[in-house]
Amino acid sequence: MTEIVCWRCGQPLAADHGRISRRDQCTACGADLHVCRLCGFYAPGRSKACRETVVDEVTVKDKANFCDYFQARPAAHDAGVAEREAAARQALQSLFGDTPAPTSATEARDALEQLFAPVKKPDGD
């Protein structure tokens, strides 16, 4: 049988993880383990991203869930995902710079109003 590894970091999971519970986490990176991304039914291109046809939709694929159809799959870790995520973050940062994200609804509203504020024309035009 192929070894089950963490979907996020690739760390081999302990032998007692043959039955992964909803609260189990990777000891190396802290990722939740009872998640769609570690499941054998996970299929990103399919409806609900799942091959199981009667399953209730789980919207967050990398957080612990209560799906009864969960079956850990050995090939869940994809080392290229982290590289692609880092490249995407770098591309976003090059577009938007180092501007920190708003931390409150008030800051977000102020930033939005500033972005769409009317442009003031110089006097005499």
Structure tokens at 106: 């008030």
User: Which residues, including other chains, have CB under 8 Å from residue 61's CB and lie 6 or more apart?
Assistant: 35, 36, 37, 42, 49
User: Which pLDDT score is estimated for 118?
Assistant: 82
State pLDDT tens for residues 101-120: 777 888 888 888 888 888 77
Q: Which pLDDT value is given to residue 98? A: 73
Give the tens place of pLDDT for each residue, 28-64: 999 999 999 999 999 988 988 999 988 788 999 999 9
- Is residue 124 pLDDT above 70, yes or no? no
Q: What is the pLDDT of residue 16?
A: 54
pLDDT of the residue at 90: 86
Rounded Cα distance, 104 and 102, in Å = 6
Tell me the per-residue pLDDT of 1-19, one tens digit each, with 9 for 90 and over.
578 999 999 999 875 546 7
Confidence tier at 93 by pLDDT (50, 70, 90): confident
Name the band, by pLDDT with cuts 50, 70 and 90, for residue 125. low
Sequence ranges of the domains in the chain: 15-97
- Quick one: DSSP state of residue 77? -
User: How far is it, in rounded angstroms, from Cα 74 to Cα 10?
Assistant: 10
18/38 Cα distance (integer angstroms):
12
Pairwise CA distance, residues 75 & 70, whole Å: 15
Residue 33: other Cβ atoms inside 10 A: 23
